[in-house]
Amino acid sequence: MLYTFLDFAGTFAFAISGLRMAAHKEFDWFGAFVVGLVTAVGGGTIRDLCLGMTPFWMTNIDYFIITLSAFVFVLVARKVLLKPAVVTFFIFDTIGLGFFLVVGYQKTIDAGYSHAMAIVMGTITGAAGGVIRDVLLAQIPLIFRQQIYAMACVFGGVLYSICLRCGIPLTITQIIAASGVIAVRLIAERYKIGLPRFKGFEVGDNDPQRTIKKKK
Amino acid sequence: MLYTFLDFAGTFAFAISGLRMAAHKEFDWFGAFVVGLVTAVGGGTIRDLCLGMTPFWMTNIDYFIITLSAFVFVLVARKVLLKPAVVTFFIFDTIGLGFFLVVGYQKTIDAGYSHAMAIVMGTITGAAGGVIRDVLLAQIPLIFRQQIYAMACVFGGVLYSICLRCGIPLTITQIIAASGVIAVRLIAERYKIGLPRFKGFEVGDNDPQRTIKKKK
Amino acid sequence: MLYTFLDFAGTFAFAISGLRMAAHKEFDWFGAFVVGLVTAVGGGTIRDLCLGMTPFWMTNIDYFIITLSAFVFVLVARKVLLKPAVVTFFIFDTIGLGFFLVVGYQKTIDAGYSHAMAIVMGTITGAAGGVIRDVLLAQIPLIFRQQIYAMACVFGGVLYSICLRCGIPLTITQIIAASGVIAVRLIAERYKIGLPRFKGFEVGDNDPQRTIKKKK
């Protein structure tokens, strides 16, 4: 019950995130729906394909229905939406992130892969949907230049791994890991903490894969 | 025979679409070929990977040969190409869309998935190639902002599903479904019918995944 | 031993290429790491998914460690990096390309596919990582408009195929194929040889998938 609620709340919040960005780029209804859907299920799809499994949404139409609900919600509510609702989305989005990390981690472990790979797959589950969303919007993925987002997943995954090795029961481990993700995300948001910008050396004349000068 | 002809005509038309767009972005020969190929086989590849099957072009070199033919055709014919040819491409592209919907639908049903999922996979088969093409061109996918295109596939898929449930023989069902796709596309093109633009609410300060301000 | 060294050197050079480009786009540490990783393993991942295999990096954490080394190297060395190092990267990148072609070719043959498909998969192994990198940077893939890069892989693959048919022992075949890739790349770089630009015919009013006019 709780599991299902968290799954649906996270999916709903992720879909909202995709729908809102699509609206900014003047997408039509179909385009907005696709971007919302892909934001919600994209991370889990990459995970399942890498694990050699059938993408989870292919045997369960619920994720389409949730995205459709988010679609209708945004259409109907946009005139009357108040600040508290925006805060609620942020909370949902953050809870969804924590939940997706746990789902991705556990599914990878169950498939027989290492804990290190479970951290990777948990992070992909949480963060890759937003990357695909931004690729479809033809913009550089936000999570590559923005506040802590994917790193919160990595942190939660490390917590998960430590708890399991310490023999902590699975349910408690999962609560700790998800809480870790949520805590890091909230703290980073509150205090505007971000990762440092990555600076490379200058590209010389012999750059192996050099950038074409753009003609203006 | 007819099946093969439709498959090849659709592939040819889709490849032409990719090649033409690549030409506008100053791609070299290799880049143009890849974009043409990906436009033609991209949708079916995503479908096959999701279904857990080997991508269809891996056991059949024909799709490379058709793309190469389209490539040579565009190179040779570009000076002498007349308006009727452009109309012919539109017809081929539309027939290809109807055909791809039918192929994707049937393959998904044969693999044991639901009719709802067959509609999704049929639409992906028809429309996802163009999305990948636009991603490689670093532009927002046309079908997210343009006239009816993917929705014609959805409509054809719904027809397919209804016909099957009514006990209509498979061949007739497939003809009806493909015709439905083609009819919707032609009518939408003729009368310039499009979906409404999706409008979201304003993004507040607490937007969970906010856009980075672009420095100019 | 040599095999492992070549694999790691190629991975390192490809990761460096991704990291350097990420630095130009003001990515943060996490974003840069992901782009470096994807550049290094992206081509092999697409190959493995198409072959129905588990992506090679899921059972071997080494590729993450090499990317991390490349990351640290770029961070530390960027102040003191001299011209010879840039040339070294070019050499590594080229050797990596030749090596990746051989790995992709052999893996595809071993999986029972045709030599033609092995050439395709070898080229994907070598060149697709850079394509994904550029998609994540929201720019048109360099290899679609740039000097000979992917075509060097195709050439090496054709050599591989010819050698095998002539009964040349596998190890020698692989050395010849990789050398062919490297030679073509070096010659193209030295004499600035590129493929011709692809020119299409004008897009008419009835263009099947026409470009939306960008509002400025």
Judged by DSSP in three states, B91 sits in helix
In single-letter form, the type of residue at position B19 comes to L
Copy the structure tokens of residue A36. 């919302």
Contact B200 A74 (CB under 8 A): yes
- Average of per-residue pLDDT values in chain C: 86
Any residues with CB less than 8 A from the CB of C72 and at least 6 apart, and which? none
Over 90: is that where the pLDDT of B198 sits? no
pLDDT digits (tens, 9 = 90+) for B31-87: 999 999 999 999 999 999 999 999 999 999 999 999 999 999 888 876 656 566 667
Q: What is the mean pLDDT of residues A50-78?
A: 92
pLDDT for the residue numbered C206: 40
CB contacts of B19 in chain C (<8 Å) are 198, 200
CA distance A173 to C45: 31
The label of the residue with tokens 């994917």 reads A150
pLDDT for the residue numbered C82: 56
Ranges B138-142, B197-201, C5-9, most confident: B138-142
Residue in A96, A109, A110, A116 with CA at minimum distance from that of residue A40: A96
Over 80: is that where the pLDDT of A1 sits? no
Copy the structure tokens of residue C93. 């990148």
Judged by DSSP in three states, C194 sits in strand
pLDDT for the residue numbered C215: 34
Over 60: is that where the pLDDT of C204 sits? no
Q: What is the mean pLDDT of residues B112-118?
A: 95
Is C144 an interface residue toward A (CB < 8 Å)?
A: no
Is C81 an interface residue toward B (CB < 8 Å)?
A: no
Which residue from B25, B54, B58 is facing C140, i.e. has the nearest CB?
Answer: B25
pLDDT for the residue numbered A135: 95
pLDDT for the residue numbered B32: 93
Contact A211 C89 (CB under 8 A): no
- Average of per-residue pLDDT values in chain A: 86
Over 60: is that where the pLDDT of B216 sits? no
CB contacts of C146 in chain A (<8 Å) are 209-210, 212
pLDDT digits (tens, 9 = 90+) for C82-102: 566 667 778 888 888 999 999
pLDDT for the residue numbered C207: 43
Contact B207 A93 (CB under 8 A): no
CB contacts of C203 in chain B (<8 Å) are 20, 24
pLDDT for the residue numbered C9: 86
Q: What is the mean pLDDT of residues B112-134?
A: 95
Any residues with CB less than 8 A from the CB of B21 and at least 6 apart, and which? B35, B133, B134, B137, C209, C211
CA distance A139 to A35: 13
For the entire predicted model, the pTM comes to 0.88
The label of the residue with tokens 């991370």 reads A43
pLDDT for the residue numbered A170: 92
Distance of CA A6 to the CA centre of its chain: 14
Residue in A67, A40, A36 with CA at minimum distance from that of residue A55: A40
For chain A, helix (H) and strand (E) counts, in that order, are 7, 0
CB contacts of C210 in chain B (<8 Å) are 142, 146
The percent of residues above 70 in pLDDT, for chain C, comes to: 87
Over 60: is that where the pLDDT of A32 sits? yes
Q: What is the mean pLDDT of residues A189-206?
A: 70
Judged by DSSP in three states, C180 sits in helix
pLDDT digits (tens, 9 = 90+) for B55-65: 999 999 999 99
Q: What is the mean pLDDT of residues B182-190?
A: 90
Query: What is the DSSP secondary structure assignment for residue A149, as one 8-state letter?
Result: S
CA distance A87 to B205: 9
Neighbouring CB atoms inside 10 A of A175's CB total 15
Judged by DSSP in three states, A79 sits in coil
Confidence of residue B123 (pLDDT cuts 50, 70, 90): very high
Q: Is the ipTM of this complex over 0.90?
A: no
Over 80: is that where the pLDDT of B206 sits? no
Confidence of residue A166 (pLDDT cuts 50, 70, 90): very high
Is B119 an interface residue toward A (CB < 8 Å)?
A: no
Residue in B116, B127, B107 with CA at minimum distance from that of residue B157: B116
Contact A195 C29 (CB under 8 A): yes
For the CA atoms of A176, A181, A187, A192, the dihedral, rounded to the nearest 10 degrees, stands at 170
Q: What is the distance in angstroms between the Cα of A198 and the nearest Cα belonging to chain C? A: 5
Contact C149 A209 (CB under 8 A): yes
- Phi, psi at A55, each rounded to 5°: -50, 135
Half-sphere exposure of C150 (CA within 13 A, CB side): 26
Q: What is the distance in angstroms between the Cα of B96 and the nearest Cα belonging to chain A? A: 20
pLDDT digits (tens, 9 = 90+) for A65-121: 999 999 998 888 766 555 666 677 788 888 889 999 999 999 999 999 999 999 999
Judged by DSSP in three states, C81 sits in coil
pLDDT for the residue numbered A199: 78
Domain residue spans in chain C?
2-76+83-190
Any residues with CB less than 8 A from the CB of B124 and at least 6 apart, and which? B43, B46, B47, B50, B104
Over 60: is that where the pLDDT of C118 sits? yes
Distance of CA C4 to the CA centre of its chain: 17
**Which chains reach chain B with 3 or more Cβ–Cβ distances below 8 angstroms?**
A, C
pLDDT digits (tens, 9 = 90+) for C21-74: 888 888 999 999 999 999 999 999 999 999 999 999 999 999 999 999 999 988
Residue in C81, C78, C97, C88 with CA at minimum distance from that of residue C32: C78
Is A76 an interface residue toward B (CB < 8 Å)?
A: no
Contact A146 B212 (CB under 8 A): yes
pLDDT digits (tens, 9 = 90+) for A105-117: 999 999 999 999 9
Alpha carbon distances (Å) from B23 to B114, C30, C148: 40, 35, 18
Taking chain A, what is the end-to-end CA distance rounded to the nearest angstrom?
Answer: 57
CA distance A1 to A101: 18
pLDDT digits (tens, 9 = 90+) for C120-159: 999 999 999 999 999 999 999 988 887 788 999 999 999 9
pLDDT for the residue numbered A25: 85
Q: What is the mean pLDDT of residues A6-15?
A: 89
- Phi, psi at A173, each rounded to 5°: -55, -45
Residue in A46, A71, A67 with CA at minimum distance from that of residue A56: A46
User: Which residue of chain C is at minimal alpha-carbon distance from A51?
Assistant: C54
Is C127 an interface residue toward B (CB < 8 Å)?
A: no
pLDDT for the residue numbered A84: 61
Half-sphere exposure of B215 (CA within 13 A, CB side): 2
The percent of residues above 70 in pLDDT, for chain A, comes to: 87
Contact C144 B34 (CB under 8 A): yes
Which residue from C198, C205, C212 is facing B145, i.e. has the nearest CB?
Answer: C212
- Identify the residue among A17, A19, A27 best suited for mutation to test binding to B, counting B beta carbons within 10 A and taking the highest: A27
pLDDT for the residue numbered B195: 85
pLDDT for the residue numbered C201: 55
Region for A197 from its dihedrals, namely left if φ exceeds 0, alpha if ψ lies in -120 to 50, beta otherwise? beta
Higher pLDDT, A60 or C91: A60
Any residues with CB less than 8 A from the CB of A105 and at least 6 apart, and which? A118, A119, A121, A122, A157, A160, A177
In single-letter form, the type of residue at position A195 comes to L
CA distance C198 to A159: 52
CB contacts of A212 in chain C (<8 Å) are 142, 145-146
Judged by DSSP in three states, B28 sits in strand
The label of the residue with tokens 């981690």 reads A105
User: Which residue of chain A is at minimal alpha-carbon distance from C78?
Assistant: A201
- Which of the residue ranges A51-60, B128-137, C61-70, C194-203 would you say has the lowest mean pLDDT? C194-203
User: Which residue of chain C is at minimal alpha-carbon distance from A120?
Assistant: C58
